[in-house]
Amino acid sequence: MTKKIFIVGSGGIGEAVALLLGAWSEFEIELTLGDIDQENLRKAKEFVERNSQKAISVETILMGEETLSEALKASFENCDVLLDCSPGSEAPRMARYAKDFRMHYANLTEYVAETDEIINLAKDAETGFILQTGLAPGFINVLAMSLYNKFVERFENETVEKIGMKVGALTAHAHHPHFYGFTWSPIGVATEYVKPARVLRDYEIRQIPALSSRETIIIGGRSYEADLTSGGAADLPDFFRGKASALDYKTLRHVGHYSWVESVIEKFTDENILENIAHHEDLPHQLLEKFLKEVPAVEDDFVLVHASVDGFDARGTRRMLEKSFFVEPLQINGHHLRAIQTTTAAPLCEAAVMLLTDKYKGVILQSQIVPDEFLNGSFIKRVYLD
């Protein structure tokens, strides 16, 4: 039976989702792309049809910023699942459409307030809502859950000292003074550097400033720096409250980058950077302006993922389980997809496959996904494990 999938947002991630679904789905699909920009839709449709390895139906529909047209209503009524690649601020509106039109729903956003709004909206839904299922939040959280389950099984202890999640979308080359290049949304980077991070400390949930807990870590024989940023922990602080003494999500960067970011922020405020950073509503946009002037957009990227669980076994011996992935750009039918595109798109595609089984109702958070099922899914394995 043909499955009908609606993808909101026809930018880099949206078109990657469409291409992966078209190339790797094990069932027949029909795709509809929705966007507020007609030219973006035209380019995305052409991109997917040109680069798909098999014939695929791709329709497009122009979406209003507020209104719901009759054509869009008809399209929603005909679709099985809505995959939301729109900006995070739009997520509650897209989730409402999914509920109203009885579609399954999955999104990517790291925004906490919007996620809480959707949880309340969809708690009694008849269809499934898998939230925050991209790279971070998303894949990294399921990987951490998998390591924790293995730790408990192997070492017979459900209480652990530390769960660490780290992800970096990085460039192959980085230059002084910023040691960075944009591989995804500049405003997304600026926002995650400003909003507070939700963590566990002494088994309790805390909100602490972003960029306030820097560390150096060696992964695969190379040194990186990592610091707290917002959103990537998903719902794991809630799940592990009382089970983990410490838990946090940190963004990986080339060494030297965070010092440059702090120097930029300090120019915008005379107050203590770490204590007051979250109270400056204009700071993300000020950072964005500075970033766009000095930091280049780069196509040559890679994604680095690292998760660890640290604690004691039943005999009191300290143990650690950790796993890392290094993901490079991918060629599909001769077309180059950046690493940030595939590592973000693959978990959303995997979520779509899960939802289309019709086994799920209501909200499914990252801690509730069965790790083995998800990590062994065909989309995840092809991007992260092959």
The DSSP secondary structure of 21-60, one letter per residue, reads: HHHH-SS-EEEEEEES-HHHHHHHHHHHHHH-SS--EEEE
Cβ(229)–Cβ(193) below 8 Å: yes
Buried b (16+ CB within 10 A) or exposed e, 78-112: ebbbbbbbbbbebbbbbbebbbebebbbbbbbbbb
Q: How confident is the model at residue 274 (pLDDT cuts 50, 70, 90)?
A: very low
278, 299, 327 - which closes a domain: 327
Shared-domain flag, residues 15 and 151: no
Shared-domain flag, residues 299 and 346: no
Tell whether the torsion through CA atoms of 64, 67, 69 and 75 is positive or negative: positive
Cβ(219)–Cβ(230) below 8 Å: no
Q: Which tens digit of pLDDT belongs to each residue from 233-260?
A: 999 999 999 999 999 999 999 999 999 9
Residue 68: which CATH number?
A: 3.40.50.720
The pLDDT assigned to 267 comes to 79
Shared-domain flag, residues 368 and 318: no
Domain count, the chain: 2
Q: Which tens digit of pLDDT belongs to each residue from 126-172?
A: 999 999 999 999 999 999 999 999 999 999 999 999 999 999 999 99
**What's the mean pLDDT in 290-311?**
94
Residue, of 282 and 58, whose pLDDT is higher = 58
Q: Which two tokens stand for residue 193?
A: 């550097």
- Distance CA(376)–CA(151), nearest Å, equals 19
The pLDDT assigned to 281 comes to 54
- Reduced to 3 states, what is the DSSP secondary structure of residue 111? coil
The pLDDT assigned to 188 comes to 83
Q: How confident is the model at residue 303 (pLDDT cuts 50, 70, 90)?
A: very high
**Whether the model pTM is above 0.85:** yes
- Distance CA(224)–CA(192), nearest Å, equals 18
- Residue 292 sits in which domain range? 140-327
The pLDDT assigned to 60 comes to 96
Shared-domain flag, residues 323 and 339: no
Shared-domain flag, residues 175 and 298: yes
